[in-house]
Amino acid sequence: DAGVIQSPRHEVTEMGQEVTLRCKPISGHDYLFWYRQTMMRGLELLIYFNNNVPIDDSGMPEDRFSAKMPNASFSTLKIQPSEPRDSAVYFCASKSRIQGISGELFFGEGSRLTVL
């Protein structure tokens, strides 16, 4: 397995544009998490899914952010419209409930977003 796959790896866009980040979890994993990493705030949980259903989106900053998981092998995080303060590295992570409820998270390589 190639692990969690994220795309794009790097994205540079202008303020006001729509940004879509993509994630393919490890096959068989039923939990998927989106995190945002910044120098000031570290790693923040934005939203997580269990069996494709959003369970907790309390970390989503505002209505400009939305996330979907249409099937077990794909999730998107969308920012519309984007702002410079959204510049960060966005990580996707997945895990399997077979490992237990507190099992290890497997991370993707991240998507580095720069909004000019």
- Taking the least distance from each CB to other proteins, the nearer of 85 and 97 is 97
> Rounded CA gap, 82 and 17, in Å?
6
Q: How far is the CB of 15 from other proteins (least distance, A)?
A: 26
- Taking the least distance from each CB to other proteins, the nearer of 98 and 101 is 101
Query: Which residue, among 27, 28, 29, 20, has the nearest Cα to 48 in the 3D structure?
Result: 29
Q: How far is the CB of 59 from other proteins (least distance, A)?
A: 9
Amino acid at residue number 102? S
Q: How far is the CB of 23 from other proteins (least distance, A)?
A: 13
The residues of the shown chain that bind other proteins, judged by CB under 8 A, are 3, 33, 35, 41-45, 48, 50, 55-56, 91, 93, 101-102, 104-105, 107-110
> Rounded CA gap, 63 and 40, in Å?
22
> Rounded CA gap, 101 and 1, in Å?
22
